[in-house]
Structure 1
């Protein structure tokens, strides 16, 4: 592919309006596209041969680029160049490198995809998020899951959109590496996971064992992290095979959801 350079100078332009609209969930979902910001992450996605709808650049960033780099991006997708004030409207961030990718969302995965992937695996740990609402928390959890070797992150209904710009930025590129599965009916999904041999572990404050208790874990584990304010729902807790808690040694009432998820994922990874 060897595309042309499209220079956009007006906020009335149809491409400007289209790309800016991807900051809203309904347009991301209808077009199955999201915004990926940052040169390093865009370069990684290109190297992974992921499909871009377009590549967007602040005109200053584009003009400062060597010809070899410009050709690299022109080979990858259609290029659009914007003056700084318009580019900032699309990125909606204060400090930007001037690089944005309009990238295709991966194919929609169903829960049975996990079973298909288990054929050659004796051990598998996955993560299920129950109504995690903060974009920074979700992004950090996805990033940590990637670091901890968690391949699948399941998103129960009510969890913040994983492809919102704030979440994507917080993943620091890990959105490209993790397989996300959206769940419409979380209880049905948990029942199905049990038929695949998964041990369901929910974090809880009451009636829970210390997270260091080895009997709480098996070779296949589904870790559930709950809502920041209310924790894991009662319905899901009732389906858990094991409930665990991370001890609090100071005066804090609880841990941040992303911190708790990180501790638990690394615990799973150490088994």
Structure 2
């Protein structure tokens, strides 16, 4: 274990870039987690901490905990850091004093082998909080796969990681640069794909059986789904509402759709 006291240390600079930049995460193939819960969720999901940065206070606490000892045992490199460095690495007002660097895994080979009976598709969402809520809900109700367009919030950005509450490490997620093609591919596989969209021919979600392999597509918070994306799907669907609200929050709409899709 080494001690780092300078914010200008190359390892600290690299870790800080992983917090701040999606480009840096992609180029390095790495991401940074903060806090015991997220770090342990990653370890329990089979991720190996390449570097662990922690303050002396946190180190003393981890030595007293079994899960903390496991994290320290798994870590390839451990660095004691100052509170000032912890402030630099954290993007929250109250730094937790523990940070781990992990490799971003290419899941395409693994994802190609999983079943696709219940799929959630996210198109151009903007809010990391919505992404996190949807991932947590999908995991809770047994969705097989989440497919996301590449312009959704980065899964490994700090805000998104926190919002998923560790679900990002357990839930199968495919990020694609060509969402339309993924939808068409699912339809070729026999999966019925329903676009959450208000159209003249929209089918109420309560009238969809979801007995066969199915997917639901949730669109951008402000603009919804494009006509091109809707046309790529099997059919548009709506969630019937009794009140005067014009629409639901994207995460709420996804939750209702997931419940309907998975409840049987």
TM-score (norm 1): 0.88
Q: Give the C-alpha shift of residue 71 in structure 1.
A: 4.5
1:46 to 1:108, Cα distance in 2 relative to 1, 3 A = closer
Gaps of 5+ in 1: none
Cα distance in structure 1, aligned partners of 2:43 and 2:232: 41
Distance 1:182 1:66, change over 3 A: closer
Query: Does the Cα contact within 8 Å between 1:127 and 1:224 map onto a contact in 2?
Result: yes
Q: Residue 68 and residue 173 in structure 1: after superposition, are their counterparts in 2 closer, same or farther (change >3 A)?
A: closer
Q: Which residue of 1 aligns with 2:105?
A: 106
1:56 to 53, 56, 69: 53
Corresponding residue for 1:209? Answer: 203
Cα distance, 1:67 vs. partner? 5.6
Of 103, 118, 130, which residue of structure 2 is paired with 1:137? Answer: 130
CA contact (8 A) 2:7 2:88 kept: no
Cα separation, partners in 2 of 1:159 and 1:65, compared to 1, 3 Å: closer
Q: Is the Cα contact below 8 Å between 2:187 and 2:234 reproduced in 1?
A: no
Secondary structure at the counterpart of residue 118 of structure 2: strand
* Pairing partner for 1:75 from 73, 76, 83: 73
Give matches, 1:220-231, under 5 Å. Answer: 220-231=213-224
Matches within 5 A, 1:1-271: 5-23=1-19, 24-66=21-63, 71-77=69-75, 78-109=77-108, 113-114=111-112, 116-118=113-115, 124-207=117-200, 208-215=202-209, 217-271=210-264
Counterparts of 1:263 and 1:94 in 2: how far apart (Å)? 33
For the aligned residue pairs, the C-alpha RMSD in angstroms reads: 2.0
8 Å contact kept, 2:32–2:100: yes
In 1: Cα distance, 2:28 partner to 2:215 partner? 31
- Look up the SS of the partner of 1:117 in the other structure: coil
Offset, 1:32: 1.3
Q: Is the 8 A contact 1:33 1:104 kept in 2?
A: yes
Q: CA deviation at 1:36?
A: 2.1
Contact 1:6 1:80 in 2 (8 A): yes
Number of residue-to-residue matches in the alignment = 260
CA distance in 2, matches of 1:160, 1:113: 20
1:208-253 CA distance string (max 9 Å, x none): 12211135x3411111000001111110111221221112333322
CA deviation after TM superposition for structure 1 residue 44, in Å:
3.2
Contact kept in structure 2, 1:109 and 1:180, CA below 8 Å:
no
Range with bigger deviation, 22-31 or 147-156:
147-156
CA contact (8 A) 1:201 1:224 kept: yes
The unaligned stretches of length 5 or more in structure 2 are: none
Kept in 1, the 8 Å contact 2:141–2:259? The answer is: yes
Q: Which string of whole-angstrom CA distances, capped at 9 and with x for unpartnered residues, describes residues 109-165 of structure 1? A: 16x944x323xxxx7101111100111111111111111211311111321211111
Question: For 2:225 and 2:218, how far apart are their aligned partners in 1?
Answer: 6
Measure the CA separation in 1 of the matches of 2:144 and 2:100.
24
